[in-house]
Amino acid sequence: MGVLSLSADSDVRPVATRGRFAAIGWQWPVLALYAIWIVYVGYRHEHWFDEAQAWLLARDSNLWQLLAERIRYEGSPGLWHLILWIAIRCGLSYDLFYLIPAGFAIAGAALLLWRAPFPSWGRILILGSYFFGYQYAVLARSYAVDLLLVPLAALWFADRTARPLRYAVVIGLIANLNAHGFLVAGMLGLELLVRLVRAHQMKRGQAWRALAIAAMLGLFALVTAWQPADNGFLPTERELPGYILMDFVRNAFVDGALPFGAGGSVRFEQLFGFELSILLLLPTVGLIRAAGHGLLAAAIATVLTGFSVITHVSPWHSGLLFLFWIFLLWISWPAVISLRLRRFLLASIAIIGVWQGAQMIRAGLWDMDHVYSPGRQAAHILAEYRATHPDAHIAAYGFKTFAVQPWLPGNPFANYHDAAPHPAFLSWKTSERWKPFGNGREFVAIIESRPDLVVASTSLQKGQSAEMEAYACEAGYGILRLLPGAMMWRGRWMQDDSILILAKGSRTGCPVAGRI
């Protein structure tokens, strides 16, 4: 059986791609198309609560408050918020927020196109994956920075003992982006230490400086993200660990039987997507073992999946497993493996890439033509109402209503800190009187307080607003506007994000009120 070894600089492009297209640099038109897609979809995207919350924290905090006091309640380190803090003070407005994730995504794409060791079609498919082409590049979250830093860590991995300083800085920055990245960065830092010791590099001052920088950045991330005792953010209801594990893995690669819809029950989709993802990852396992990175890969997979099973996890966290899969492929690519295994590996990359590419296109096209979150629309309605009713009392119900806050000069909600204009971000403290995860009793209490306007998230009722509308109508409130919004995941509806605005004294005919 033949074997195949590819160096990191090998030209593994198919012959058909060489010629006139390659003469002008095939990467340039690909990067241009990618940039146009990301920027335009980002321009059309409406930021939801999580995106707004990070912006508000950066906008309404001084640097000490941001990093020493407030970030801890968000469950992540503060590098993303620091980036926003600087951007806001440089004059960036909220309507241009999408340029920040787009910038990091385009920079990471350029690195991937010019420096990754994969075939040209493989690099293009990775750019067209769901996480590179939509979720992390369009939604303004800390994961956008990972699109640049993870490929950069992969690029500098081979020279980490000869030039450890730059590699240490990158993994230290990865540690400061999010909790999952912090854990992986810890594994990469330990691997760097072991490698430097085995290579007899510890007598060099550069090695000590690199380890010191990585340790200090890691410690800074730990301090800023350390959870306070009065954090009320984490939900109490969780799936069984086995289902969480299956969801985490399948959401990173192939998530079900069909790319755009359920091919069976939820449990069937979970099991099918998980098993197919594991099957497609088997050639990667062979490559990693041949490259001698098996222990590192096992450590990365263990901390990512283990942390997700033990603590809070959302579908988008799975993208980090996908990115570090790319990292492991990158650093292992030159390994000598059989030609048959290499073909299986390329086939698995193609299947994952095409599957996610179809979902990326569908998600992006949907985001262009639909409302992801109606925060901006609701903010305009509130501003117009306030202009004609300057003394009106406006109440909020449900944490997703805070998507309106960045579009307004200050907090408009009378039942949140008595309408104090700043800070306008949501406090997760358990002592907070306003409850972000409100229930029917909270909604009834708000209506009974008789505000002039109620801004309510229907998400807490799973998008079923009929009972809310009926009860409010019986209490003398009518619908001023129902603003639809929906969060998508891989081209499928995931979660309601609509906002219902109720006005006192404007009811018409009332349906029968049910239980709220």
Q: Which helix (H) or strand (E) holds 453?
A: strand 453-457
Q: Domain for residue 420, yes or no?
A: yes
Distance of CA 216 to the CA centre of its chain: 25
| Domain contains 398 | yes
Q: For 214-227, what is each residue's pLDDT tens digit? A: 999 999 999 999 99
Tell me: pLDDT of 42 over 70.
yes
In-domain check, residue 476: yes
User: In the prediction, which pLDDT does 464 show?
Assistant: 67
Judged against a pLDDT cut of 50, whether residue 387 lies above it is answered with: yes
Residue 515 pLDDT exceeds 90: no
Beta strand pairing call for 499-504 and 477-483: antiparallel
Quick check: is 492 in a domain?
yes
| pLDDT tens for each residue of 54-95 | 999 999 999 999 999 999 999 899 999 999 999 999 999 999
Judge contact between 502 and 476, C-beta under 8 A.
Answer: no
4 versus 244: which is more confidently predicted?
244
- pLDDT band of 203, cuts 50, 70, 90: confident
335-374 b/e (C-beta count within 10 Å ≥ 16 → b): bebeeebbebbbebbebbbebbbbbbbbbbebbeeebbbb
Which residues have CB under 8 Å from 378's CB, separation 6+?
401, 403, 404, 455, 481, 483, 499, 501
pLDDT at 5 over 70: no
The amino acid present at 369, given as its one-letter code, is: D
- The position carrying tokens 């497993």 is 321
The pLDDT, as a whole number, for residue 17 is 42
Task: Taking the CA atoms of 11, 17, 23 and 27 in sequence, report the sign of the dihedral they define.
Answer: negative
Q: What is the pLDDT of residue 268?
A: 87
Q: How far apart are CA 134 and CA 5, in angstroms?
A: 33
pTM, full prediction = 0.92
Instruction: Return the residue matching tokens 């979902």.
Output: 359
Domain assignment of residue 442, yes or no: yes
Give the 3-state secondary structure of residue 56: helix
Half-sphere exposure of 87 (CA within 13 A, CB side): 22
**Average pLDDT estimate for 172-197:** 98
Burial of 206 (0-12, 13-18, 19+ CB in 10 A): middle
pLDDT the model gives residue 23: 55
Please give the pLDDT value at position 7.
43
Residue 177's closest CA among 224, 215, 135? 224
What's the confidence (pLDDT) of residue 18?
46
SS3 254: coil
pLDDT band at 507 (very low <50, low <70, confident <90, very high): low
Residue 391 CB neighbour total at 10 angstroms: 6
- Note whether residue 168 is domain-resident: no
Residue 27 lies in a domain: no
Total number of domains in the chain = 1
Average pLDDT score, the chain? 91
Average pLDDT over residues 334-354: 97
Q: Is residue 426 part of a domain?
A: yes
Q: Which domain holds residue 457?
A: 375-504
